[in-house]
Chain A
Amino acid sequence: MAPPCRSLLALAALLLLSLSLAAAAFQSDELLLNDDDEFEGVGARPSVPSPPAAPAISSSRRRSADAPLPGAGESNAVQFTLEHDLGDGKGFVPAGTFSARLKTFAHGTQTLTKLRFTRNDLNEDDKVAFKKLLQEDGFYTIRLPSNVLDTTKKHNVASSIKARCIPRDSLDEHIVIHMDGVNILAVNYGSVGGCQYPRPMKLPSKWTFSSYTILKTAEQAPRTPSFADQLIEADNGLGEVMKPPEKSFWAKYWMYIIPLGLIVMNAVTAAANIPEEAAGQGQPGAQRAPAAAAGRRR
């Protein structure tokens, strides 16, 4: 970018800084969290209706991403190209462009935000090559430069997928870019949904890509809990004794209720049987008599 523009931006940033110092200091802290999975899923071209889920997510995320923007950093637009290899012997050819804002923080680290992706149209040759790839069950490979600022180094990160995984209605792709500052560590290319095995041959109805892209940075490991923390925690926790969660009435007393129920049922059936017994008397009574007699004899 032109130097005057940058200096202007810096000035603006400075102004803002002086206006709200506390807020600026706070924002830089928050940014890292937001950048974690910056999501700017955009359809391939304006003419293609983008899938219904993507805009909703992107708009919701965009707000959170936009919020800290007028903060401490200065931003620059960067562009880098995605190249693909259709396995037709031509090697890697440009297939799309990523554009993003590059943000530089006060402490010198740089990150990308507001990533947008535009796919180039597939021409007839490409379609033929892609069809051949589908028939052969070959690999569709893409690659990105390993450094978004310095694309002259010719180091590329690549990713492949079996071409048969991609077609649904249109060609659905899902790109995860793992970033470390301005370096692209790796790109993971895949289909949007699953990819069943064995892979059936299927041609897309529309020869357009609908792309979803995600930027990912490293998670930070939580600090190892140390004993001091635990002691503090224990101190705080002294007042309130951990109460076991209240169980429902049934959970508490089922072991009493079930036998009780059984006894009651027994009693009821017994009660029902008494009249019958009374009606069909004789035999039971006769049986009882010898036993009593034996008892008496002893």
Chain B
Amino acid sequence: MAAPARRSLLVLLAGLLVFASLATLATAIYEDQVGLADWHQKYIGKVKQAVYHSQKSGRRRVVVLTEENVISSLDLRSGDIFWRHVIDKNDPLDQLSLSHGKYVLTLSSGGTILRAWNLPDGQMIWETNLRTSAASNPQLHVMSNNKVAKDNLVLVSAGRWIYAVSSIDGAISWEKEFSIDGLEIKGILQSPENDVVYALGLAGSSKLALYHLSAKTGEILKDIQESLPGGLCGETVLGSDNVLVALDKARSSLLLIEFKAERISYNKVHVSDLVQDLSGSFKLQSLSNGIISLQTSSSISLLKLKGTVGLEVIQKFDQPAAVSDSLSITEKDEAFAVVQHLGSEIEFIVKFTSDLSSENIREKVNIDQNRGNVEKVFLNSYIRTDKSHGFRALVVMEDHSLLLIQQGEVVWSREDGLASIVDVTTSELPVEKDGVSVADVEHNLFEWLKGHMLKLKGTLMLANADEVAAIQALRLKSSEKNKMTRDHNGFRKLLVVLTKAGKVMALHTGDGRVIWSNLLSSLRASRFGGMPSALRIYQWQVPHHSVMRENPSVLVVGKSGAESSTPGVFSILDSYSGEELNSMKLDHSVVQIIPLTLKDSSEQRLHLIVDSNSNAHLYPKSPDALNVFLHEMSNLYFYSVDIQANVIKGYSLQKSCGLNLGDEYCFSTKELWSIIFPSDSERIAISETRKMNEVVHTQAKIIGDHDVMYKYLSKNLVFVATLSPKAAGDIGSALPEEASVVAYLIDAVTGRILHRVTHHGAQGPVHAVLSENWVVYHYFNLRAHRFEMAVIEIYDQSRADNKDVMKLILGKHNLSAPITSYARPEVAVKSQSFFFTHSVKAMAVTQTAKGITSKQLLIGTIGDQVLALDKRYLDPRRSVNPTQQEKEEGIIPLTDSLPIIPQSFVTHSHQVEALRGIVSIPAKLESTTLVFTYGVDLFYTQLAPSRTYDSLTDEFSYALLLITIAVLVGAIIATWIWSEKKELRDKWR
């Protein structure tokens, strides 16, 4: 009896051990957990060019090129992405075209790289590098119906160069460099017989050149040059196949230049004869043979060429409108579309060039007001069921969204503004009200019961495949995750994002759906130039105690122009509804925005905005806020990093503003300290501070030998890295001897350099993250030919003698003494560097509610994935042979490189294309942090750096627990009965 019992015990122990070891390994999520807590959304950005598949190919697809440097094929029926390529920012895409009906051609990097992509699947077919001069406006022209050569030639013009490239294999058929300096090819035309190519170029502002080239060889057949008096401003368009329309330098008249004849001749038309409003910029667009559109800041006019002598206005649209390119319908007829705003609707008008007076289609489409004006229209035709021509159009709106319009309806829309997020903040959801019963949440009791039955089956492993799928679907859309109320664990939040277009959107963390959106009117492009830009978004009011009933709100700060001195824009939005509560145009510029930790009585956060004259302005402008602020003003300091001047300066605030004494919310600043980096040896690369909302749980670190080290936890710590000027370029451009990275730790109140270390032979780009008392930074080591990550931990030595227990008892310790930056800190620094395999796009660190959970670094890798790397690997105290005590403390033996464990990619199979930022938001549950990653794509997930030690996971089998309890209770009863019987038997013996 004894032997089997022991064996079973051993088996149990072994099982426990195996389980324990597995538990430590299982940091990654399982396959069936994908999509439960995380979501991934794909975007493409603002469309700037679009080409449709030809009618013959039968597929309803469109290929688009966007401002986020994405080329993508979309399904015209649903707007889904078939394939997508995100091209690197260093290789900007300029032109897009189709060739042969099966290749997509893209021209990028100023006309130097021509690529062909396979239309159905997006595979790259060939790539050709072209040598051109620095060109500003490269052109791509696909020759049609070429009977000369078998394959279609593609003409690429950039600057003085013209290349003819075979569209089959990308081989350069001929090339031509024109001899005129500063020539820029403005247009390429084919002769009707397809054997002559006309290239029209502009040199400087006044010299016009026309070349007749042989389509076969590129030989110059004829060469005509003419000087134009007055000069041109560069805005030119081909009005028809023998007239070039150009705007002159004074922007007062249009020149009609006829160039097909023996010599170049021109006629002048005054713009004022055509349109009345002459302010702002003009834009010319060629619609079809003989028709052009002239776009001014307030209107669009359709102009028709009267031969070569004049222009006449056909139609004028005074509302904000956009005109599409022309689309050939039949052999000789072409169509184009105009979309104009009419109140809350837009009007979609299609016209044929053969009959300009009538309209083929005039449809009204209802459109969300928060999308702004129409910016671009791309027209497409299809054959209706009654064999007539139908038209649909892709419309690009001001908020960068893309809509498909057909039969007076919006068929689908894509929120592509989310591809260009500028800043992110979060907001809590409203608290759940009383009296919301189960029935309100679930549809009815039967559904509810059925769901629970399914779940029970699932846990007891009785469910078949269909039911498993149903359970997954239930889990996915379980209202628990997507409810619009606050949850106990703090997982449900609103991600309030600010996009480049000036649109604020709130995304639900449950599934990433847009709750509300608001295109801020103050950040929309004004009629008279001045492109406003959105800068930052902050939490403005987070109600807690006294104003619990009010909704939280967010603050959006922007600039009304490109220059740094343009006045700022200030807008406050309700976080629950997106309604704009307040909007202001500031009377000063915005250089730096400093959110303060102070709040006024209505719990509005105080913000300081520093203008270009180094005056600080306090917001909100209320006497209450001013009182709170003045009380703390003597203890407020700020610093500025001027990368241009290579200087860091620290300031304090002084009572009144120098300019206008009446403004009591304006404060002048006094420069307290400055650090000047010698420009010939160091350039500022990056500066990083601790996150304002970071919580640190312990001030001390207990090391293996029961000694205590006090962390230097100053909120004013700034990390600055400088590069030697030569090390700022690409890797390989500098020798190890002339490249170096210098890392600084600076106290921002006194300007004290706490630590300064030089990495010789190191090169940028530098990425850094600062948290608690440590900083981790990433750079390239030229000597070792590898990327490196270095860590600096900073400890406070002045409190090191607090270890004495007697002092603690007698109250002589200085733990509770106020700390001032003016005391000279005694700090000790520990540092170490490690090799790292990847280059890095962004770095962040996990934030949790109380700061107890161990930290993970979130590293956006070059593969657009996010890697979670335990901070323990970046411990400067790691040594090759850690002592027993150090091992017990959890110090990992030193290795030369940081491990990349495939399971620790938090993005698992997804890629966040063109990754730009990683944000970590603490949940209420201490173990869990919410991670939001944005680039062209969005990705959100929950992360538990030390695993969920404070809650049971979703996978926890309650059924098993219940069964175990039942079995145990049964066993207890059984054994009790048994023992009773035995005792009775014993007594009767």
Residues of A within 8 A of B (CB): 137, 139, 141, 146-147, 155-162, 165, 174, 176, 178, 180-181, 183-186, 188, 190-198, 216, 218-222, 224-227, 229-230, 233, 237, 242, 244
Q: Which residue of B lies closest to A137 (CB)?
A: B634
Q: Residue A181 contacts which of B681, B752, B756, B896 (CB distance < 8 angstroms)?
A: B681
Task: Give the docked Cα–Cα distance between A178 and B752 (Å).
Answer: 10
Contact A224:B758 (CB < 8 A) given known A139-B652, A194-B824, A195-B823:
no
Chain B neighbourhood of A141, CB < 8 A: 672
Q: State which of A158, A180, A197, A219 has its C-beta within 8 Å of the C-beta of B674.
A: A158
Residues of B within 8 A of A174 (CB): 824
Give bound CA distance, A139 to B681, whole Å: 32
Interface string of B80-95 (1 = CB under 8 A from A): 0000000000000000
With both chains docked as a complex, state the minimum distance between the C-beta of A187 and any C-beta of chain B, in angstroms.
8
Q: A137-B634, A184-B676, A224-B834 are in contact. List 9 more A-B contacts (CB 8 A).
A: A141-B672, A155-B676, A159-B751, A181-B681, A192-B824, A218-B756, A219-B757, A221-B743, A221-B757
> 9 A-B contacts, Cβ less than 8 Å apart?
A157-B676, A158-B674, A161-B822, A180-B678, A193-B824, A196-B818, A197-B820, A220-B758, A226-B835
User: Do A185 and B677 have beta carbons less than 8 Å apart?
Assistant: yes
Separation in Å of the A292 CB from the closest CB of chain B? 21
**A141-B672, A160-B672, A226-B896 known; A190-B784 Cβ under 8 A:** no
* Closest residue of A by beta carbon distance from B783: A223
Q: Which of A188, A196, A242 touches B752 (beta carbons < 8 Å)?
A: A188
* A193 to B742 Cα, complex, angstroms: 29
A195/B881 in contact, CB under 8 A: no
Q: Are B896 and A161 in contact (CB under 8 A)?
A: no
The answer to whether B781 touches A225, judged by C-beta atoms less than 8 angstroms apart, is no
Residue of A nearest to B835 (CB): A224
Q: Which residue of chain B has its CB nearest to the CB of A229? A: B896
Cα distance A229–B880 when bound, in Å?
11
B677 touches A191 (CB 8 A): no
Residues of A within 8 A of B759 (CB): 221
Most chain A CB within 10 A, of B678, B755, B784, is at: B678
User: Does B875 touch A at the CB level, under 8 Å?
Assistant: no
Q: Which single member of B753, B819, B831 contacts A188 (CB below 8 Å)?
A: B753
Residue in B673, B677, B759 with the greatest tally of chain A CB atoms within 10 Å? B673
A225 touches B757 (CB 8 A): no
A157 proximity list for chain B (CB < 8 A): 673-676
Residues in chain A near residue B781, CB distance under 8 A: 224
A155 to B677: give the CA distance in the assembly, Å: 11
**A-chain residues with CB within 8 Å of residue B760 when the two chains form the complex:** 220-221
Residues of chain B lying within 8 A (CB to CB) of residue A225: 880, 894, 896
Do residues B758 and A219 form an inter-chain contact, with CB atoms below 8 A? yes
Q: Which chain A positions have C-beta within 8 A of B673?
A: 157-160, 186
In the bound complex, do residue B757 and residue A185 qualify as a contact, i.e. CB atoms below 8 Å apart? no
Q: Which of A137, A174, A197, A226 has the most CB of B within 10 A?
A: A197
- 8 Å CB contact of B790 from A160, A176, A221, A233: A221
Q: Which of B750-804 contact A (CB under 8 A)?
A: 750-753, 755-760, 781, 784, 788, 790, 798
List 10 tightest A-B contacts by C-beta distance, closest first: A194-B823, A183-B678, A160-B672, A195-B822, A186-B675, A197-B820, A218-B758, A146-B676, A224-B833, A197-B818
Pair A227/B831 contact, Cβ less than 8 Å: no
| Cα–Cα, bound, A158→B880 (Å) | 44
Chain B residues within 8 Å of A216, by CB: 753, 756
A185: chain B residues at CB < 8 Å are 675-678, 753
B757 x A220 contact (CB < 8 A):
yes
A104 to B894 alpha-carbon distance, docked (Å):
40
- Of B677, B682, B823, B835, most buried by chain A (CB within 10 Å of CB) is B823
Would A165 and B822 count as touching, CB distance under 8 A?
yes
Residues of B within 8 A of A226 (CB): 784, 835, 896
Report the minimum CB–CB distance from A89 to chain B (whole Å): 13
Q: Smallest distance from the beta carbon of B796 to chain A beta carbons, Å?
A: 13
Residues of A within 8 A of B822 (CB): 161-162, 165, 190-191, 195, 197
Is there contact, CB below 8 Å, between B820 and A196?
yes
- Bound: A165/B824 CA distance, A: 11
A190 touches B750 (CB 8 A): yes
Provide the residues of chain A in CB contact with B948, threshold 8 Å. Answer: none
Most buried by B among A156, A193, A230: A230
The answer to whether the Cβ of B146 comes within 8 Å of any Cβ in the partner chain is no
Is residue B697 contacting chain A, with contact meaning CB distance below 8 A?
no
Q: Mark B553-572, 1 if CB is under 8 A from A, else 0.
A: 00000000000000000000
Determine if A195 and B676 form an interchain contact, defined as CB atoms under 8 angstroms apart. no
Q: How far is the CA of A147 from the CA of B634 in the complex (A)?
A: 32
Are A195 and B750 touching (Cβ within 8 A)?
A: no
A194 CB contacts on chain B under 8 angstroms: 798, 820, 823-824
Shortest Cβ gap from A88 to chain B (Å):
14
- Are B884 and A244 in contact (CB-based, < 8 A)? yes
Residues in A neighbouring B757, C-beta threshold 8 A: 218-221
Q: A224-B788, A224-B834 are in contact. Are A219 and B756 (CB under 8 A)?
A: yes
CA A159 to CA B676, docked complex, whole Å: 12
Give the shortest distance, in Å, between B630 (CB) and chain A (any CB): 15
Q: How far is the CA of A96 from the CA of B798 in the complex (A)?
A: 31
Given contacts A178-B753, A181-B681, contact A156 B674 (CB under 8 A): yes
Question: With an 8 A cutoff between CB atoms, is B432 at the interface?
Answer: no
Q: How far is the CA of A261 from the CA of B535 in the complex (A)?
A: 75
Residues from 207 to 251 in B contacting A, C-beta threshold 8 Å: none
| Residues of B705-761 whose CB lies within 8 A of A | 742-743, 750-753, 755-760
Residue from A161, A180, A192 having most chain B Cβ neighbours under 10 A: A180
Question: In this assembly, does B277 line the interface, its C-beta being within 8 Å of a C-beta of chain A?
Answer: no
Complexed CA–CA distance, A157 and B930 (Å) = 43
**Chain A residues whose C-beta falls within 8 Å of the C-beta of B896 in the assembled complex:** 224-227, 229-230
Q: Is B671 an interface residue (CB 8 A)?
A: yes
CB-nearest residue of chain A to B818: A197
Q: Is the CB of B894 within 8 A of A195?
A: no
Complex Cα distance, B818 from A146, in Å, reads 34
B831 touches A221 (CB 8 A): yes
- Chain A proximity of B97: nearest CB distance (Å): 49
Return chain B residues, CB-CB under 8 Å to A137: 634
Q: For the complex, is B621 an interface residue (Cβ under 8 Å from A)?
A: no
Decide yes or no whether B670 CB sits under 8 A from chain A: yes
Q: Are A158 and B881 in contact (CB under 8 A)?
A: no
Chain A residues lying within 8 Å of B743, measured Cβ to Cβ, are: 221
Question: B681 contacts which chain A residues (CB < 8 A)?
Answer: 180-181, 183
A195/B820 contact (C-beta < 8 A), A190-B750, A218-B756, A226-B896 known: yes
The verdict on A191 contacting B824 (CB below 8 Å), with A218-B742, A221-B833, A224-B788 known, is yes
Closest to A195 in B: B822
A193 to B798, CA, bound (A): 11
- Min distance, Cβ A87 to any Cβ of chain B, angstroms: 9
* A222 partner residues in chain B, CB cutoff 8 A: 833
**Across-interface contacts of A147 in B (CB, < 8 A):** 678
The listed residue with most A CB atoms (<10 A of its CB), out of B759, B784, B790, B818, is B759
Inter-subunit contact A221/B752 (CB<8 Å): no
A180 and B724 alpha carbons, distance in the complex (Å):
12
Whole-angstrom CA separation of A161 from B750 in the bound complex: 7
Which residues from chain A contact B833 at a C-beta distance below 8 Å?
221-222, 224
CB within 8 Å for A233 and B880 given contacts A185-B677, A220-B758, A224-B834:
yes
Within 8 A of A (CB), among B651-704: 652, 670-678, 681-682
Nearest-Cβ distance from residue A152 to partner chain B, whole angstroms:
15
Which B residue sits closest to A158, measured CB to CB?
B674
Q: How far is the CA of A297 from the CA of B743 in the complex (A)?
A: 89
Q: Which residue of A lies closest to B824 (CB)?
A: A190
CB pair A159–B820 under 8 Å, yes or no, is no
| Centre residue among A197, A218, A220, A221 by max chain B CB count within 10 A | A221
Report the nearest A residue to B751, measured CB to CB: A159
| Complex: A147 Cα to B833 Cα, angstroms | 32
Within the assembled complex, what's the spacing in Å between the Cα atoms of A180 and B680?
11
Q: Which residues of B contact A161 (CB under 8 A)?
A: 750, 822
User: Complex: how many Å from CA A216 to CA B760?
Assistant: 18
